[in-house]
Chains A and B, each alone.
Chain A
């Protein structure tokens, strides 16, 4: 009997059913669905979705604007996009690495503030020359983040604490405690934020001059790309990656195989924390040069969406970070051009997150259709030959 909606099922299986490419095809499918949902939303607001999306691309530096301010061009917008993508990339890698080990690191925003703040007060206000200061900042970011991450992992291993709740508690504790210290010792009364760090310590070359253009150059982006490759290699080709993924998939069987669960979890949370630390210093001492007290950076939460969309794979995180940053950055321009609220950016990202969370369901559904079609072809074959 021919399955219902035969044609739709056939198309879905053809495009989404190939096991090798499923990672990418389903992600693309999620993106397209989200864009459609966003388009509907824009239509409901009385705006043209196509021009809205185009102005997002323009704002992000992926399409030419009709006019540019002095010293600005599409290239500078694009560099700004990369500047914002860098912390997002590290943050999403942080979430992804933890996810691969079966752990949910929701504490990325807190870790970002922690490492950003520590690096700011130790190096950011110092007069060290750039070639000493910047590597030092990176080191502090890595060290402080990994300490926090390992702490959360230790709590889980030794005391069986739910890492979602404990990391969220840490988010708020860190946020309020650093806010206290900023307000008392490091506040800039004009900006209501922490005092600006010295340029030599900053991980982004802000307003760097290139020809007659002024652009922001994220110094750590190449490092980020190398880390993406390194993480991919680690997860797929090394023993440590094998252990990490095994614990994430089935801790009982991993233990049976001889893997030390506690150590693996603490190390992977430490790695996750280190990446979050990098996100923190590239955010608070790169893309921005000061910290807003008692505010948890949205990047840390959006990173969850990015990691889910990228299926927790390092290259997936890279592409998804770019996509979400495009949405975030481009929407400022779009909202001013088209009179749409700025808040639509987080809503679009939220919708993307929602649909990405249904990945597994889509995969299972496609698998079901695949089986249905195979049974159908099988019975048809038997009818012909039988």
Chain B
């Protein structure tokens, strides 16, 4: 240990192991990060990257292994402790207080205080505002300190999260999947902010599963698979193919095979749809489009631009303020949710756990969630439980849904991937005319994603109409026949996928106009 302090690694993890009930989240992981580096943690969903960094940030403690910060062994027992070691983290799911201002969010936990009359402590908002404006200017993170969080867009919220770290003098900044919620242009902006931070002497650790971004900005990376470290490599000199292989352990199919064919009759027609929220805000403005048999119509857009609402309105979960939803020539506006299911609409909701499943019921009941009330599953109001089980077993077989006790398993105990498989199985087996899929592969590992993509293509080939809403541009470019880009509740552009490039789509997502 005779190296001078500057070239000592600023963060070193030795043999970190962490157990959670039933799984080994991190298995004997060791690596080090140098000061002033942009270091990436690469791996599929569920590989253990977030857990590892949560340990570094003090949210968890490792079961085995040690952490060395600036050469000194440290036990990081809480985020406060991590902050004292100048470690900060921008989380994937922002941890912001909606009904408080940008300024209040940034200072939470480290509030500047004055004493009124020497006695009463009082929040010194003026001082806070000054400091925040200073930091904003230094790193190019423009924010309005007095705006409430529920009034600012996602990219601003991310800036608030970054400012939170900088306000606490973080020197080591951890970013957890920062680009998941951004458009391509916003991603560019973020990557240049990250480079700015490095110029300012900060050390950046980037968690991601997006190879292209890592390639653009990282110096070195570490690859995790199922909790184990499979490689430490220099980013510039390694190909994305190599990195992908180490992530998954085999050759990865980057493109799904899709046959070109003619589309059939119109199945879904949305005419002049407008949706209003409870508080009067209009989330969807005068949207019209249609989906034909055998067509995958994908809606691209940054989260929160109205695409979720369109899907829910079609399924019947929220009312249409204006306009009609027509299925096979018949308006469904007046139909209840159950009537729409029977008319032929399958819906995979964005939140599979909260909306798509009854977590405390059995797999058998969940697989029959849309059929239990009618014959043959229920006669004279009495449920035919053995029939639930036999039907469920069929689906478990066909879709390879894994669970501890088969159809009797309580769904809550199943993994996220298998829960999603169950939802997809159920919705496909309804044999509906229209399949509305919202974020079908969110949070799943590559194997599951591939399976689901081929399921979607298979349904398309069978002549079903598929409405796909996704935040993953790669997924949209791979699957879509037609793409509609939504911005601020309106379709900026609709055209066959073949006519669009990723960059163009990104432009429309930001509200850019046709040139």
Direct touch of chains A and B (CB < 8 A): yes
Q: Residues of A at under 8 Å CB distance from B?
A: 237-240, 242-243, 246, 249-250, 252-260, 371, 375
Query: With A239-B373, A250-B359, A371-B21 in contact, is A256–B378 under 8 Å at CB?
Result: no
Question: By the criterion of a CB under 8 Å from any partner CB, how many residues of chain B are at the interface?
Answer: 29
A252 to B350, CA, bound (A): 13
A256 engages B355 (CB within 8 Å): yes
Count of A-B contacts judged by CB separation below 8 Å = 62
| Residues in A neighbouring B372, C-beta threshold 8 A | 239, 242
Given A252-B355, A253-B358, A240–B317 Cβ distance below 8 Å?
Answer: no
Question: Quick check: which of B32-40, B122-130, B336-344 contacts chain A, the rest being far away?
Answer: B336-344
Q: Name the distance in Å between A344's Cβ and chain B's nearest Cβ.
A: 38
Assembled-state Cα–Cα distance A252/B312 (Å): 12
Contacts A238-B381, A239-B372 given; does A256 touch B356 at CB 8 Å: yes
- Classify the secondary structure of A's interface with B: helix
Cβ < 8 Å to A, chain B residues 5-46: 19, 21-22
Complex Cα distance, B341 from A260, in Å, reads: 13
Beta-carbon contact of A239 and B378 below 8 Å: yes
Q: From A370, which residue of chain B is reached at the shortest CB distance?
A: B21
Measured between beta carbons, the chain B residues less than 8 angstroms from A249 are 358-361
Convert B385-396 into 0s and 1s, putting 1 for each residue whose CB lies closer than 8 angstroms to a CB of A.
100000000000
Chain B residues near A239 (CB-CB < 8 A): 372-373, 378, 381-383
Q: Which residues of B, 351-390, contact A by the 8 Å Cβ criterion?
A: 354-361, 365, 369-370, 372-373, 378, 381-383, 385
Nearest chain A CB to B257 CB, angstrom units: 33
Other than A239-B382, A256-B355, A257-B369, give 9 A-B pairs with Cβ distance below 8 A: A239-B372, A239-B381, A242-B365, A249-B358, A250-B358, A253-B357, A255-B337, A258-B337, A258-B370
A-B contacts, 20 listed (Cβ < 8 Å): A237-B382, A239-B373, A240-B381, A242-B383, A246-B361, A249-B358, A249-B359, A252-B355, A253-B354, A253-B369, A256-B355, A257-B337, A258-B336, A258-B337, A258-B341, A258-B373, A259-B338, A260-B338, A371-B21, A375-B21
A257 and B19 contacting across the interface, CB-CB below 8 Å: no
CA–CA, A252 to B349, complex, Å? Answer: 11
Cβ of B347 under 8 Å from chain A: yes
List 4 A-B pairs, minimum CB-CB distance, nearest first. Answer: A258-B338, A371-B21, A257-B369, A239-B378
Chain A min CB distance to B312 (Å): 10
Q: Across the interface, name the chain A residue whose C-beta is closest to B379.
A: A239
Distance of A11 from chain B, by nearest CB (Å): 21
| Chain B contacts with A in 318-350, Cβ cutoff 8 A | 336-338, 341, 347, 349
Q: Contacts A237-B383, A238-B381 hold; do A256 and B317 have CB atoms under 8 A apart?
A: yes
- A253 partner residues in chain B, CB cutoff 8 A: 354-358, 369
In the complex, chain B residues whose CB is within 8 Å of the CB of A371: 21-22
Instruction: Specify which chain B residues have a CB less than 8 angstroms from the CB of A243 in the assembled complex.
Output: 373
Q: How far is the CB of A318 from chain B (nearest CB, A)?
A: 23
CB-CB nearest in chain A for B315: A256
Contacts of A259 in B (CB 8 A): 338
Q: What is the minimal beta-carbon distance from B221 to any residue of chain A, in angstroms?
A: 31
The residue in chain A whose Cβ has the minimal distance to the Cβ of B347 is A256
Separation of A256 and B317 alpha carbons in the complex (Å): 7
Known: A239-B372, A239-B373, A257-B369. A246 touches B336 (CB 8 A): no
| Complex Cα spacing A253 to B357, Å | 6
Q: How far is the CB of B120 from chain A (nearest CB, A)?
A: 35
Residues from chain A with Cβ under 8 Å of B341 in the complex: 258
Q: Judging by beta carbons under 8 Å apart, are A250 and B354 in contact?
A: yes
- A252 and B354 in contact, given A242-B372, A258-B370 (Cβ under 8 angstroms): yes
Residues from chain A with a CB closer than 8 A to the CB of B373 are 239, 242-243, 258
Residues of B within 8 A of A260 (CB): 336, 338
The answer to whether residues A255 and B317 also contact, given A249-B358, A250-B354 and a CB cut-off of 8 A, is yes
Bound: A238/B354 CA distance, A: 24
Chain A residues lying within 8 Å of B19, measured Cβ to Cβ, are 375
Digitize B92-114: 1 where CB-to-A-CB distance is under 8 Å, 0 elsewhere. 00000000000000000000000
Provide the residues of chain B in CB contact with A242, threshold 8 Å. Answer: 365, 372-373, 383
Closest to A241 in B: B383
* Chain A residues whose C-beta falls within 8 Å of the C-beta of B365 in the assembled complex: 242
User: Within 8 Å CB of A246, what residues of B?
Assistant: 358, 361
Nearest opposing residue in chain A for B354, CB measure: A252
Nearest CB in chain B to that of A258: its residue: B338
List residues of chain B with CB within 8 A of the CB of A238.
Answer: 381-383
| Complex CA distance for A371 and B19, rounded to whole angstroms | 11
Given the known interface contacts A239-B378, A375-B19, the answer about A254 and B383 at a Cβ–Cβ threshold of 8 Å is: no
Kindly state the separation between the CA atoms of A254 and B317 in the bound complex, as whole angstroms.
11
Q: How far, in angstroms, from A364 to B422 measured CA to CA in the complex?
A: 26
| Distance, CA A340 to CA B136, complexed state (A) | 71
